[in-house]
Structure 1
Amino acid sequence: MKSRRRPYSEQRPFDTGGGVWSVPVPIPANPLGYTLIYAIESPAGPVLVDAGWNHPESWLALRDGLTAAGMDVREIRGVVVTHFHPDHAGLAGQVRQESGAWIAMHEADAALVRFMHDLEDGAHRDFQADMLRRAGAGAVEVTEVTARRPRPPAVPDLILQDGDLVDLPGRRLRTVWTPGHTPGHVCLHLEDADRLFTGDHVLPEITPHIGVYPYDRTDVDPLGDFLGSLEKVKDLGELEALPAHEWIFHDTAARAAEIGAHHEEKLRRLAGLLAEAEGPLTLWEVASRMTWNRPWEEFPAMSRGMAASEAAAHLRTLEVRGTVRRVKGSDPIRFVLHS
């Protein structure tokens, strides 16, 4: 079964079969358009996979979409959040407030959510500004990127670990930890139906953002984690994928292989870019020379910040593999091909 992506105005709640409904929830002023929220029926009440963006329009879409599916938001048993990003976790707190539902999240993302709640706005801006400066961003870009801070999502009630079964009576919904897009991203394997809720990990056409925050961390390798997580999903076999964006599709394993090949090619191009450079490049210079879906000059500041974090993730993987190195003592930090 496949449901091609259409503009949000053409989206409707959709019965995917097997007691699972898809409910599109808009993301205001975002090119993705909407998040696909899934409601899984159970004798003890529905469980949601993700909840959507925290916005009045999004809340109405979720509430009314559940009603169209024959469900009442006040009867939701729980919300499993695939990862902490606002288009997935944003409304989980309001669902809990309306229904008393529990919120479940992987322990790695739960730790980030608690950190976000503890971090004051001024400290958050200072952190971002210093990170951007060390990457080689200009003063105007620093100011624009640090101007906004999303509201942190609700702190979860339940912590999930790899392999845990979700509290879903009558069904077998197993947690599959797939770090990369976030440290605690999870897919959810509905074992009694051979279906996989993939969140942002495996999407049918686009690929998720893989970044490093702060950009110059050397204790993590998100892209390496992501590539390993793709292998993990491939091992599950030809499952039907129910992703958070775009459309439902068959054979998760085949698409995971395609995404892995895409990033390996991107790593090869990046190594070639550094080989052709006349000298060490700042992270900002690397990002500006990479191939994106539009010219760097047309990127708004926020998109440049995300592109820099993705460039940092690819550089970090090349560094782990011994292909590139960072110039010792450089500020802004600079990278060269390893000699």
Structure 2
Amino acid sequence: MLTEVTDGIHKLVIKFPKGMGEVNCYLIEGKNGYTVIDTGTDSIESKEGWKKVLSSGILIEKVVLTHTHQDHIGLAKWFQQEVGVPVIVSNLGYEEMRKNRNSHGRDRLNSLIIRHGGQSLPNKINEDPPIYDFEPNGFFENHQHIQLGEELFEAIWTPGHAPDHFCFYNENKKIMIIGDHVLNKINPVIGLWSGEEENPLKDYFLSLTELEKYPADITLPGHGDLIYDLHSRINELTAKHEYRLQQVLQSVTSESKTANQICHEVYGTVNIILNLSSFMATLTRLLYLESIGNVERQELDGVVKFKARE
């Protein structure tokens, strides 16, 4: 059930039926109980996984969140209100929670998809459970040192995968808790889930550069296997993004296209309802290319197309 990954830190894989299908939660030993990093989704399956752990007599001191995507924050409210455990989130994460408490974000997401050539999502796809409707017990900020178990970890703001994403680094033991910012065999999706046009891929590249300053002997990701050479993995991710950027740029060299059209070319026939991530990855690459002057947009009747600059 619990797997010790390094001294005093255990990994728990919580499974659920949708999305990634599972998430790595980490339990860090302390004299007052375990600090839990991330929770899993608000689902029966996730709760059952945690109930098995709690029934063994393990004491949880607090829950700390890397970011507020559903598979990481989903059971935070349950931990707080049903289990009686305080929940700690970043100030930026709290801002994202407040945004997600109403339907405006869902409306913006639909508008964004339609504006870039896609179709509106069905309501059942576009509905969030009330997982954000609670008040955290505490907050942390960028570069603040927070207690996780018996050790102090530096909270490092790493936007890109999520605007409120944080990693936690322990300098003494060279341990990086990295959430979804870097995964071992998967490329984290860089998306615009709030429906607001920003430049998260630029933020992601800058965050990867920031993490290169931290020597890590072991890196604990939110999904998949552990990472033992963080810098090499960062180089691999950067190279893959550069390849995809060139692929997207080549697609619009001779004619203008929507993000949805390019998504189909790059990833094959994609059902945007079932695989919104591919659409998002394509769109954020286009916005990055636009920001560095490689493509320009053309808007007609409310639909945006992109074309390479000559």
TM-score in same-fold range (> 0.5): yes
2:26 match: 38
1:274 match: 252
Whether 2:274 is the aligned partner of 1:302: answer yes
User: Which protein has the bigger helix share?
Assistant: 1
For residue 252 of structure 2, give the secondary structure of its aligned residue in structure 1.
helix
Which residues of structure 1 form unaligned runs of 5+?
1-11
User: Which protein has the bigger strand share?
Assistant: 2
How far off is 1:131 after superposition? 2.4
Match of 1:84 among 68, 80, 91: 68
1:50 match: 38
Distance (whole Å) between structure 1 residues aligned to residue 126 and residue 13 of structure 2 = 26
Q: Does the 8 Å contact 2:105/2:194 carry over to 1? A: no
TM-score w.r.t. the length of structure 2 is: 0.91
1:110 match: 94
1:233 match: 211
TM-score w.r.t. the length of structure 1 is: 0.84
1:24 match: 13
For residue 168 of structure 2, give the secondary structure of its aligned residue in structure 1.
strand
Distance (whole Å) between structure 2 residues aligned to residue 134 and residue 53 of structure 1 = 30
- Matched to 1:28, the amino acid is P
Whether 2:199 is the aligned partner of 1:221: answer yes
1:5 match: none
Distance (whole Å) between structure 2 residues aligned to residue 36 and residue 59 of structure 1 = 14
1:9 match: none
- Consecutive aligned runs of 4 or more in structure 1 exceeding 4 Å deviation: 213-216
Distance (whole Å) between structure 2 residues aligned to residue 124 and residue 234 of structure 1 = 33
Which residues of structure 2 form unaligned runs of 5+?
none
- Matched to 1:266, the amino acid is R
Q: Does the 8 Å contact 1:135/1:283 carry over to 2? A: yes
How far off is 1:17 after superposition? 3.1
How far off is 1:77 after superposition? 1.9
Aligned length: 308
For residue 25 of structure 2, give the secondary structure of its aligned residue in structure 1.
strand
1:129 match: 110
- Matched to 2:261, the amino acid is E
How far off is 1:34 after superposition? 1.2
How far off is 1:319 after superposition? 0.9
How far off is 1:57 after superposition? 1.8
Distance (whole Å) between structure 1 residues aligned to residue 34 and residue 290 of structure 2 = 45
* Cα RMSD (Å): 2.2
For residue 147 of structure 2, give the secondary structure of its aligned residue in structure 1.
coil
